[in-house]
């Protein structure tokens, strides 16, 4: 409608890549001969496709457990850890009421969280109740004055006190809103 043909014919003067010919006449398909010569668009398409493919594959995102281990060993920067943490699934033990379970036997209350279900079960047992949440949701829902500990029963345990949690929230807000 309105000055152009929507049926897919080449119309006047325009030939989609892989087709050449006179207006209204379809040209050869990609890779076919046109007037005894190879289709020039076929090579351009192949070159374009090769340019679009990445030269090196993107590294797979680190699992939260790997990030916790690297952060605990001082290999991973705080910003990089937080990037993995905010998008990862975190396993939290729960009681009968909704919400986080806090450990009160420390200077500040901390909430145990785990990078894998296996780590959670090592701490709380096979039949333990739990819920999953993303790290970003943890930062959003954690009550003020609370910290958290990741993978409490492992050698790579990491503790974030309430001040560290506030700094993580501030960092996330700056990244999100500038």
Q: E strand or H helix at 110, and its extent? A: strand 110-113
**Do 78 and 57 touch, CB atoms closer than 8 A?**
no
Residue 13's pLDDT is 46
Q: Which residues contact 67 (CB under 8 A, 6 or more apart)?
A: 76, 80, 81, 84, 85, 88, 115
Could you state, in order of their start, the residue ranges of all structural domains in the chain?
A: 8-58, 64-177
Domain spanning 64-177, CATH class? alpha beta
Residue 167's pLDDT is 93
Structure tokens at 49: 């496709």
Averages of pLDDT over runs of 10 residues in the chain (178 residues) are 46 48 50 55 52 53 85 90 93 90 85 94 91 94 93 92 93 84
């Amino acid at each position: 409608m309105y000055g152009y043909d929507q049926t897919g014919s080449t119309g006047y003067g325009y030939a989609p890549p892989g087709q050449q010919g006179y207006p209204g006449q379809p040209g050869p398909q990609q890779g076919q001969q046109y007037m005894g010569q190879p289709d020039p668009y076929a090579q351009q398409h192949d070159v374009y496709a090769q340019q679009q493919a990445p030269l090196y594959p993107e590294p797979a995102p680190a699992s939260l457990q790997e990030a916790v281990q690297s952060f605990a060993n001082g290999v991973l920067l705080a910003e990089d850890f937080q990037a993995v943490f905010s998008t990862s699934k975190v396993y939290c033990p729960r009681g009968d009421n909704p919400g986080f379970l806090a450990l009160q036997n420390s200077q500040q209350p901390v909430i145990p969280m785990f990078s894998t279900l296996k780590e959670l079960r090592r701490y709380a047992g096979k039949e333990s109740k739990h819920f999953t949440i993303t790290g970003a949701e943890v930062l959003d829902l954690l009550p003020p004055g609370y910290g958290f500990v990741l993978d409490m029963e492992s050698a790579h345990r990491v503790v974030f006190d309430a001040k560290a949690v506030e700094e993580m929230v501030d960092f996330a807000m700056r990244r999100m809103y500038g």
